[in-house]
């Protein structure tokens, strides 16, 4: 559900001929990441990233992007990203967004490896 939502959001943000990249990596959870999320344990995690080269998220929307009922889309309900983050956090993971150096946005989340 999380991947579907992120990919559909990326598709909606893309100009004609834009790109979406989905990647999965095994990463080591650093001490500072564990400090930001006390539920996260140090150790191996899986990181999934969904990147697009669309317009990106405006700075005034960035701090609110995961808030319930906040949407930058006229027809958006503002619940998709909030639900995605809640699912990730309920599995002791972390979700965030950052600017894509190639333009657009990268949504990332990590989940502890079993």
Q: Are 2 and 83 in contact (CB under 8 A)?
A: no
* pTM > 0.85: yes or no: no
In tens, the pLDDT along 79-99 reads 999 999 999 999 999 999 999
Helix axes 80-90, 2-13, angle to 10 degrees: 150
Alpha-carbon distance of 107 to 92, in angstroms, equals 17
pLDDT at 25: 86
């Amino acid at each position: 559900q999380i991947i579907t939502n992120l990919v559909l959001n990326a598709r909606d943000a893309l100009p004609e001929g834009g790109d979406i990249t989905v990647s999965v990596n095994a990463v080591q959870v650093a001490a500072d990441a564990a400090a930001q999320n006390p539920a996260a344990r140090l150790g191996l995690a899986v990181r999934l990233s969904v990147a697009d080269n669309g317009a990106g998220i405006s700075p005034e929307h960035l701090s609110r992007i995961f808030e319930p009922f906040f949407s930058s889309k006229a027809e958006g309900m503002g619940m998709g990203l909030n639900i995605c983050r809640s699912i990730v956090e309920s599995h002791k993971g972390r979700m965030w967004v950052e600017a894509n150096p190639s333009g657009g946005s990268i949504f990332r989340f990590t989940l502890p490896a079993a």
